[in-house]
Amino acid sequence: MCTTCGCSSDEPANMAQPGLQAKPLSVAGPPQKQFHLLERDVLQKNHHDAAHNRQHFEKSDVLAINLVSSPGSGKTTLLEKTILALKDEISFYVIEGDQQTMLDANRIEATGAPVIQINTGKGCHLDAAMVHEALHTMQPARHSILMIENVGNLVCPALFDLGEKYRVVTMSVTEGDDKPLKYPNMFESADICVINKVDLLPYVDFNLEKSKEHALRVNHKLKFFELSATKGDGMANWLNWLRLEHAGIPV
Amino acid sequence: MHELSIALSIVEIAEEEVKKAGGTQVEQIVLEIGSLASIEEEALAFAWQEAVKQTVLEKAIYVIQNTAGRAVCLACKREFELSFMYDLCPFCGDFRKELMQGKELRIKSLIII
């Protein structure tokens, strides 16, 4: 490699003398240093796997949704209530991501929806390859909804596209209304923001308008649903949105 | 700590590139990390030590090039630098913006020996 400019060439140099045919020059020496300009995205493999999943979902008309949030925001309850409310109209399939245990998968199984639990062990997020593998075990039927409940973590899952159509971030009113400012990447990468546990608003110091303002500052395209998965307030709008998306009617 | 997955992905790419180049190890690796990429450099340094053991990157020096965040305001159409994802347009105060730069997470170059 040229130490001045860092250029490198795999082509052997050619030496020519008038009257003689040019011959490649080979010089034996210490191992060559090679400079490689790569510009490769570190997450390239995940992007590739996610694109593959996305293509598969589109081809089989499966609406894939990636549910993300901090632990305890009520994702699993929202999922249970959603499936129970819509199961006569829509087939649901669920992938559950947790570091340990089958607890969430057992709760979902009780709703009657097919479910696969992925335990990430020390891992803090699902990636597209894990979802791909789960799809080989559980093949969602055509025209169904696949709910992927990610590991409860507002940081790491933000970086890993799973091939979903929509990323839904849930925050609950028992958390601070500054969550979107503290964990901007998750809110920036989401399409929908569910504000859960609104039935507790009278008892907590959570400013609903402020929380939305904060979320919009990191992502002005976010669409909000304010609801209480346990009490049912606001669930109708969320369920209706799912119905329309499932029917392929853009909202 | 997603930095471990990130470090492992970097190792995987480096192994592949070294094999392709017919080399044995990496002397230097340059990473480009955007300031809004959600990568904690200290956490990456910690994960790095574990991830590179017995790989082509074990003895590599790694250099990080930071890329500042840049966005274009959707209201006044002016470009500005941002330190945080939630920054407002410094010209007109609007919150609507399109990120142009700052989420990079790339291996820029390798020196393979």
Is the pLDDT at A153 greater than 60? The verdict is yes
**Taking CB atoms and an 8 Å limit, are B2 and A184 in contact across chains?**
no
Judge whether A150 and A97 are in contact, CB under 8 Å.
yes
Select the more confidently predicted residue: A18 or B48. Answer: B48
Largest interatomic CA distance in chain A: 96
- Strand A92-98 and strand A192-196: pairing? unpaired
Domain boundaries, chain B: 3-112
Q: Give me the amino acid identity at A68.
A: V
Alpha-carbon distances of A123 from A103, A156, B6, B29, rounded to whole Å = 18, 9, 12, 25
Domains belonging to chain A, first-starting first, are 44-246 (3.40.50.300)
Q: Which of A26-30, A99-103, B12-16 has the lowest mean pLDDT?
A: A26-30
State the Cα–Cα distance between residues A100 and A124, nearest whole angstrom: 11
State the Cα–Cα distance between residues B54 and A218, nearest whole angstrom: 41
Mean pLDDT, rounded, for A234-241:
98
Mean pLDDT, rounded, for A71-77:
95
Side-chain half-sphere exposure of A67, counting CA atoms within 13 A: 28
The per-residue pLDDT of chain A, averaged, comes to: 89
Judge whether A45 and B12 are in contact, CB under 8 Å.
yes
The per-residue pLDDT of chain B, averaged, comes to: 96
- Chain A contact residues (CB < 8 Å to B): 1, 31-46, 123-125, 127, 155-156, 158-160, 180-181, 184-185, 188, 214, 216-218, 220
pLDDT given for residue A28 in this prediction: 54
**Taking CB atoms and an 8 Å limit, are B13 and A44 in contact across chains?**
yes
CATH code that applies to domain B3-112:
3.30.2320.80
State the Cα–Cα distance between residues B23 and B112, nearest whole angstrom: 6
Residues tagged in the binding site annotation of B: 2, 73, 76, 89, 92
**Taking CB atoms and an 8 Å limit, are A158 and B109 in contact across chains?**
no
pLDDT given for residue A9 in this prediction: 40
Mean pLDDT, rounded, for B1-30:
94
pLDDT given for residue A241 in this prediction: 97
**Taking CB atoms and an 8 Å limit, are A156 and B112 in contact across chains?**
no
Angle (CA) A14 A15 A19, round 5°: 125
Is the pLDDT at A24 greater than 60? The verdict is no
Task: Give the nearest partner residue to A34 out of B6, B23, B105, using CB atoms.
Answer: B23
**Taking CB atoms and an 8 Å limit, are B2 and A43 in contact across chains?**
no
Judge whether B28 and B63 are in contact, CB under 8 Å.
yes
State the Cα–Cα distance between residues A75 and A171, nearest whole angstrom: 9
**Taking CB atoms and an 8 Å limit, are A36 and B97 in contact across chains?**
no
pLDDT digits (tens, 9 = 90+) for A188-206: 999 999 999 999 999 999 9
Give the DSSP letter of residue A18.
T
**Helix, strand, coil % over all residues of chain B, rounded to 5:** 25, 35, 40
Select the more confidently predicted residue: A5 or A88. Answer: A88
pLDDT given for residue B104 in this prediction: 96
pLDDT digits (tens, 9 = 90+) for B52-82: 999 999 999 999 999 999 999 999 999 999 9
Is the pLDDT at A25 greater than 60? The verdict is no
Q: What is the ipTM of this complex?
A: 0.91
Mean pLDDT, rounded, for A158-173:
97
Angle (CA) A1 B8 A98, round 5°: 165
Is the pLDDT at A95 greater than 70? The verdict is yes
pLDDT given for residue A120 in this prediction: 87
Task: Kindly identify which residue of chain A lies nearest to residue B6, measuring between CA atoms.
Answer: A42
Sorting pLDDT into bands at 50, 70 and 90, what band is A6? very low
pLDDT given for residue A68 in this prediction: 97
Task: Give the nearest partner residue to A155 out of B38, B97, B106, using CB atoms.
Answer: B38
State the Cα–Cα distance between residues A175 and A193, nearest whole angstrom: 14
Here the tokens at position A89 are 């109209």
Is the pLDDT at A91 greater than 50? The verdict is yes
| Interface size, chain A vs chain B, as Cβ–Cβ contacts under 8 Å | 96
Mean pLDDT, rounded, for A121-136:
92
Is the pLDDT at A21 greater than 50? The verdict is no
Kindly state the percentage of chain B with pLDDT values over 90. Answer: 96
Q: How far is A45 from chain B (nearest CA, A)?
A: 8
pLDDT digits (tens, 9 = 90+) for A40-64: 999 999 999 999 999 999 999 999 9
Is the pLDDT at A27 greater than 80? The verdict is no
